[in-house]
Copies of this chain bind each other. A is one copy, B any other.
Amino acid sequence: MRFTFLGTADAGRVPLYGCECPACNAARTQVAKRRGPCSALLETDQTRILLDAGWPDLDERFPVGPDAILLTHFHMDHVAGLFHIRWGVGTAIPVFTPNDNKGCDDLYKHPGLLDFRTFPAPFESQTIGDIDVTPLPLNHSKPCYGYLITHSSGVKIAYLTDTIGLPNETCDFLIQQKLSLLVLDCTHPPQPSSAKLNHNDWLHAQDIIKRIPAERTFLTHISHGMDCWLRSNQAALSGVEVARDNQAIEFKP
């Protein structure tokens, strides 16, 4: 089983358009430091699941469609790639989503290839191939799910973006799991406590990480500001890892 970060940026990506901060300048000259739309791929011997669909080149990345797409929510940086592939031909692609009666722009009106599906309720899992997927409510400006992904080999992955803090029920649920991998929104460096946030800063992320045990923890949905801060605050992470685009994590059976 393999989990790959396809993209690890916030909506502004890194480099941010027009920005000349050290993180953005570094990303312009070093491809490895670039960050694209926040998205991941889960692969087992039998099943391929795409987590979020913000990459605009899904046609080239998936000439054979994934078995399913899990959407965390309908913000553009997570769904932009659907607007093109929906017009395609071939097998319909199941797209699991939170309950959001607006969707994004005209995706519901013209779904084309996309077979939109919702979950019966939060915390009620669905089986996709040899993977179990459990939707977990998050705190965001649109209806938003994180996902617990469970494989028969025992691997358990929690993918939690976009969110500011965590709802108690989601946190309590995750504390009881023995996570192999925790992937968490950490868009911002530490912000003043008065800041109105729609995403975790490092302080909120740290609080969540301390409460939810996991063998490995990765931060994602990283802004250029977070990347700047990390240039002089790597030590603060103490074992927490910051994801990179195209970084793959292998789980041995």
Contact = CB atoms under 8 A, between A and B. Distances in A.
A16 B88 contact: yes
Contact of A88 (B18, B57, B58, B106): B18
Given A17-B113, A56-B56, A83 B76 contact: yes
Given A17-B59, A113-B17, A113-B18, A77 B88 contact: no
Contact of A18 (B19, B76, B83, B90): B90
Number of copies: 2
Contacts of A16: 87-89
A13 B86 CA distance: 11
Contact of A87 (B12, B59, B90): B12
Interface residues of A, number: 27
A41 interface: no
Interface string A58-88: 1100000100000000001100100111011
A11 interface: yes
Interface of A: 11-13, 15-19, 56-59, 65, 76-77, 80, 83-85, 87-90, 104-106, 113
20 contacts: A11-B84, A12-B84, A12-B88, A13-B59, A16-B88, A17-B85, A17-B87, A17-B89, A17-B113, A18-B65, A18-B88, A18-B113, A19-B89, A56-B56, A56-B80, A76-B105, A77-B83, A77-B84, A104-B105, A105-B105
